[in-house]
Structure 1
Amino acid sequence: MSHIIGIDLGTTNSLCGVFLGDKPRLIPNALGKMLTPSVVAVLEDGQILVGEAARELRVTQPDRCASTFKRLMGSDARVEMAGRAFTAPELSSMVLKSLKADAEKFLAEEVTDAVITVPAYFNDNQRKATKVAGELAGLKVRRIINEPTAAALTYGFHDRNAEKKLIVVDLGGGTFDVTLMEVFEGTLEIVSTSGESFLGGEDFTNRLVSVILKQLGMQLELAELQEPLRVARLRQQCEDAKRRLSEQTDVEVKVPEKDGTLPEKARTVKINRETFAAAVKPLLDRIAGPIGKALRDGRSEAQEVDDVILVGGATRMLPLVDFVRDYFGREPEATFNPDEVVCLGAAVQAALIADNRAVDDMVMTDVCPFTLGVNTAKEMGGQVKTGYFVPIIHRNTTIPVSKEHVFSTMVPNQQEVLVDVYQGENRKVENNLKIGELRVTGVPPGPAGQEIYIRFTYDLNGILEVEAYVAKSEKKFRAVLTQHAADLTDAELEAAVANLQTLKYYPREDQANQKLLRFAERMVGEVSPYQREQFEDAIDMFEQAMGTGDRETVENARSTLEQILAMLGIDPDQASGGASFE
């Protein structure tokens, strides 16, 4: 069996690795380097260049080059390059092909399978686009894994006996993620995640470019249109200056001519750390938002975090390090190279998939980064208004998971219901992402309010099973949304769906639950009027809990109802006969 490689497909740089022997290893490219720039170029003869050669050409012929296209994944946008238009998956596939070729040379075997990392906050369209890129490159994508999760796998692999709460701050070239997790007894449990898909090191470089252009009386957006060669060369100079500011207190940046050349006596602009920090402060303010959100979702405070781990080359910037230190009140750590740690984790994930004995004592849980729910209608002021989003699986719920919600028909004799499935956080579905639908037919005629139970079951492969149960007819309807799990074979998909069934819990079909509910309802008229309100509240809570389909919620509500019955001197074991008052 050939090796499964792990790939960190980055905005600025990409790299691949493999698990060999008893540890993950990086794979060098044709130039002997680990990082391959995520840049693609088209020469005049139609030849495609990828990597460092393309990055060099970007400075002198930017119209023939494409970069930062990872930010366009999942959209309909096309990149114009040398008179041709390319989609983001097409451009990404060229980078993946290059990495695949490097891996085949290194391993001396054909490579067909890969694990590819993505920002934790990538939505389903972006993840699906990443899988498409893999397919175009001739790879079967065995798993899409979140970048912070991959980084945590690297740390967890090398420190399996740790028991701590840690947070991964991942600032790459074009995206930002933050993930809160707990490590204990070889288990990595993702607690919560958040981030931004349009915030990264490239934005910090652009801030520096803007500062210098402003001194020339120019704005970045206008300059890119009017003097693209100057801006391309200046961006290269600012990228270098940004890196040097991590070692030096001030640097000089040479200002290119309009044609992009750098004469010997080119004008220079001095930039110090304070100027850079002031320029990027708005970006740092944006970083604070997702960090706070991840902590709130994980019900944690900054001071409760044991370790703060920096991931991504952009986390070397001193303003970012200072910001993180101030936010958490402790020194962040980067035990592993921030550029490489995600790729190493992808290789560990590949070993987990391959059932490598070197990782058989490791367990990893992940979370659903976005809320999953359905489109519903609400009655307001006598009018029925549609387009409201009702969550079924909330963001940062540990997966695999199965959750249920009860809905009702809106009008008399409604015989059909269309369940539109969405992903997102907005109150209105129009601002969320539709990922599928399920049509429910044959609802028995009757008044409005016929109950329909909608259950979502979601797993690590990205498979979402949507199930609808019509209470009155006892009919079930089901749709399996594979989204970014399209590479699974029929047999693999069948096995994955079978595994989903083990997650399901149907409390409303449990005879013991129904017996307790009916018995309690019958006892309402037997208790003192002064006790009735508390008793009915417990019954309502139990009935609502059964509608959630959550085992823990149901058991807690059942326990509460049984305690109330015991307090009232009622023995629920007598449900089949008359009531017994002790």
Structure 2
Amino acid sequence: MEYVVGIDLGTTNSLCAVFRNGQPELIRNAHGDVLTPSVVGILQDGQVVVGAPAKELRVTSPDRCASAFKRLMGTNRNVSLAGKTFSAPELSSLVLRSLREDAEAALGGPVTEAVITVPAYFNDFQRKATKHAGELAGLKVRRIINEPTAAALTYGFHDRDADKKLIIIDLGGGTFDVTLMQIFEGTLEIISTAGESFLGGEDFTDRLVATVLKQLGMALETAEHKTPLLVARLREECERAKRAFLTEELAVVRVPEENGELREDAKRIKVSREAFAKVSGELVERLRKPIGKALRDAGTGPDEVDDVILVGGATRMPIVRETVRELFGREPLCTFNPDEVVGLGAAVQAALIADDAAVDDMVMTDVCPFTLGIETAKQFAHQTMDGYYTPIIHRNTTIPVSREEFFGTMTASQTEILLQIYQGESRRVKDNLKLGELKVTGIPAGPPGQQIGVRFTYDLNGILEVEAYIPETGRRFVTVLTNHARHMSEAEVAAAVERLRAVKFYPRDDVKNQRLLLFVERIIGEVPPMERQTLEETLTAFEAAMAAGDREQFAAVRQGLLVVLSSLGIEYDDYREQPDAEN
């Protein structure tokens, strides 16, 4: 039997899980541990080691080891390791290959497919790099899911009859995510997500290392260059001290020699929990911003959240727990091991993909963590300024989704437009991430403002279909961006694009809606003056909803228009000729 495994590819540690016998379960590695350090090393003889052996090597030969390379995913930065150059996906693939081999040994058969988790705030390039790492490790990546979503799946699987609003606070070794969600009747609905890709437990350790070095009269960057063995061993000591703060008010850090050795009479520096909290104050403040953003995006107050769930080993730190307790006025929950909950949830997602009977009553919805849009230009007096960003699908929109906006030409006789497609939140495109482009030609020549419609359709696989059309001619232009979906074959992408058609909604093309619009336009001059403004405003909202293409919004607005007509004594029926309005 072949299994689809779930993998939590972490900054500090990674793990693998599988769903079998109706439950998610962790897979132990060759050393008997469920956690595999995300560290890669090269021995003197050229042998590559991964996990615990590499972590030990990092202390004695830091120049032969690489760690925290998850932070480089999606960038062009490489890592030099024992005279060789590696990209972040290549290093990550070595960790994934190790996990895959451990899973094959434990399950007694080949493992070729996986669900891999990423921080919710990973951008398109970072997700693409993660999938590439999976491919290099010999895995077909069935789905990339957000880490907080995976954690919620673990809680939802074990409490699927609950009806509550949860917020997941996920602080790992290198990334921070916040996700607000609703659980009801076996459904997990993601409401909003926020986070920071360069904030995690490693940063808190670095603050402690810098504090100790400062007392020795050294700066961290200088010491890393001049005495790398000292810093490598000191970082291990500071990590131990950081963990001691879980139960102790005072921790002792032993200072190693320049060669990294720890002598019996090594200098000892005492650091209090209060002092650690003080030097970590700026990092703690950075935790508050994404939490506030997730709540604001959802229109939810801290007192409206039923449970606050901690995920990620770094949430064990007292300063993190105290901050969360202060923000929400209650004790956060940690029912499942915060180091393991994401991996278990990835296995639940794998079971959902495999249609396992044990999860057939569970449904999960997710959101688009970033805004998707195009570059536009603005007119200021007689000057045209380009480089502005206009959203089409806003962040935290439930996916799959299809949205449409209308744009116009900027100059007279303009017959083509090059749509530049971006992802991000900034007002200017230079600060966002370019995903692709689409050229629209054959626009009828005319004055500025000749319209084209632009529709974005986005799904759980990360496929973005961009469609542009010219209303006057009906000509359409389409591009499919599959940056997230490299694991999919051409046939699978085609099938996914076909499924996107079911997501699209074109109310303006429905004859019933066209007929209702024309009817109201015909009779609007016949209603009493006192009532005309209300009908005008409702009709304008109806036209806007037809253009937006949001099913729920359109249904509500259309019903509202019918209610206004009824209040005026005008009964409308979609299926028969309409009488003139009563005067």
Comparing 420-429 with 436-445, which one deviates more in the overlay?
436-445
Tell me what 1:91 maps to: 91
Separation of aligned partners in 1, 2:398 and 2:125:
21
Query: Deviation of residue 315 (structure 1)?
Result: 0.9
Separation of aligned partners in 1, 2:187 and 2:502:
21
Query: Deviation of residue 546 (structure 1)?
Result: 1.2
- Which AA in structure 2 matches 1:13? N
- Structure 1 residue matching 2:259: 3-state secondary structure: coil
Separation of aligned partners in 1, 2:276 and 2:525:
74
- Structure 2 residue matching 1:425: 3-state secondary structure: coil
- Which AA in structure 2 matches 1:392? I
Q: For each residue in 1:464-509, what CA deviation from the matched residue of structure 2 results, as whole angstroms up to 9, or x when unmatched?
A: 1111121000122211111111111223222211211111110111
- Structure 1 residue matching 2:280: 3-state secondary structure: helix
Separation of aligned partners in 1, 2:570 and 2:358:
56
Comparing 5-14 with 414-423, which one deviates more in the overlay?
414-423
Query: Deviation of residue 440 (structure 1)?
Result: 1.5
Tell me what 1:399 maps to: 399
Tell me if 1:74 matches 2:103: no
Tell me what 1:227 maps to: 227
- How much identity, in percent, do the aligned residues show? 62
Tell me what 2:560 maps to: 560
Separation of aligned partners in 1, 2:102 and 2:94:
13
Separation of aligned partners in 1, 2:98 and 2:302:
41
Tell me what 1:127 maps to: 127
Tell me if 1:358 matches 2:344: no
- Structure 2 residue matching 1:502: 3-state secondary structure: helix
Separation of aligned partners in 2, 1:277 and 1:97:
38
- Which AA in structure 1 matches 2:541? M
Comparing 535-544 with 492-501, which one deviates more in the overlay?
535-544
Tell me if 1:487 matches 2:487: yes
Tell me what 2:581 maps to: 580
- Which AA in structure 1 matches 2:373? G
Alignment of 1:143-542 (within 5 A): 143-528=143-528, 531-542=531-542
- Which AA in structure 1 matches 2:61? Q
Separation of aligned partners in 1, 2:408 and 2:559:
28
Separation of aligned partners in 2, 1:475 and 1:235:
62
Separation of aligned partners in 2, 1:326 and 1:65:
39
Q: For each residue in 1:159-218, what CA deviation from the matched residue of structure 2 results, as whole angstroms up to 9, or x when unmatched?
A: 111111111110100000011111111111111111000000000101111111111111
Query: Deviation of residue 394 (structure 1)?
Result: 0.6
Q: For each residue in 1:400-432, what CA deviation from the matched residue of structure 2 results, as whole angstroms up to 9, or x when unmatched?
A: 111111112222222212121110001111111
Q: For each residue in 1:421-455, what CA deviation from the matched residue of structure 2 results, as whole angstroms up to 9, or x when unmatched?
A: 11000111111111112222222223322221111
Separation of aligned partners in 1, 2:330 and 2:171:
18
Separation of aligned partners in 1, 2:570 and 2:310:
58
- Which AA in structure 2 matches 1:544? A
CA contact (8 A) 1:545 1:553 kept: yes
CA contact (8 A) 1:163 1:185 kept: yes
Separation of aligned partners in 2, 1:159 and 1:557:
36
Separation of aligned partners in 1, 2:427 and 2:373:
11
Comparing 554-563 with 154-163, which one deviates more in the overlay?
554-563
Separation of aligned partners in 2, 1:569 and 1:159:
50
- Structure 2 residue matching 1:499: 3-state secondary structure: helix
RMSD over aligned CA atoms reads 1.6
Tell me what 1:19 maps to: 19
Comparing 177-186 with 414-423, which one deviates more in the overlay?
414-423
Separation of aligned partners in 2, 1:301 and 1:165:
11
Query: Deviation of residue 51 (structure 1)?
Result: 0.7
CA contact (8 A) 1:571 1:581 kept: no
- Which AA in structure 2 matches 1:131? K
Q: For each residue in 1:380-403, what CA deviation from the matched residue of structure 2 results, as whole angstroms up to 9, or x when unmatched?
A: 112221111111111011111111
Query: Deviation of residue 350 (structure 1)?
Result: 0.6
Query: Deviation of residue 131 (structure 1)?
Result: 0.3
Comparing 565-574 with 349-358, which one deviates more in the overlay?
565-574
- Which AA in structure 2 matches 1:457? T
Separation of aligned partners in 1, 2:577 and 2:4:
59
- Which AA in structure 2 matches 1:394? H
Query: Deviation of residue 568 (structure 1)?
Result: 4.3
| TM-score, structure 2 normalization | 0.97
| TM-score, structure 1 normalization | 0.97
Query: Deviation of residue 556 (structure 1)?
Result: 2.9
Separation of aligned partners in 2, 1:149 and 1:504:
25
Query: Deviation of residue 219 (structure 1)?
Result: 1.4
Q: For each residue in 1:123-142, what CA deviation from the matched residue of structure 2 results, as whole angstroms up to 9, or x when unmatched?
A: 01000000000011111000
- Structure 1 residue matching 2:503: 3-state secondary structure: coil
Q: For each residue in 1:217-249, what CA deviation from the matched residue of structure 2 results, as whole angstroms up to 9, or x when unmatched?
A: 111122111221111110000001111111222
- Which AA in structure 1 matches 2:422? Y
Separation of aligned partners in 2, 1:251 and 1:18:
38
CA contact (8 A) 1:161 1:186 kept: yes
Q: How many residues align?
A: 582
Tell me what 1:101 maps to: 101
Comparing 569-578 with 112-121, which one deviates more in the overlay?
569-578
Query: Deviation of residue 573 (structure 1)?
Result: 5.3
Q: For each residue in 1:332-360, what CA deviation from the matched residue of structure 2 results, as whole angstroms up to 9, or x when unmatched?
A: 11111111110000011111111111111
- Which AA in structure 2 matches 1:277? A
Query: Deviation of residue 153 (structure 1)?
Result: 0.5
Separation of aligned partners in 1, 2:249 and 2:572:
76
Unaligned runs of 5+ in 1: none
CA contact (8 A) 2:572 2:578 kept: no
Separation of aligned partners in 1, 2:532 and 2:489:
57
- Which AA in structure 1 matches 2:582? F
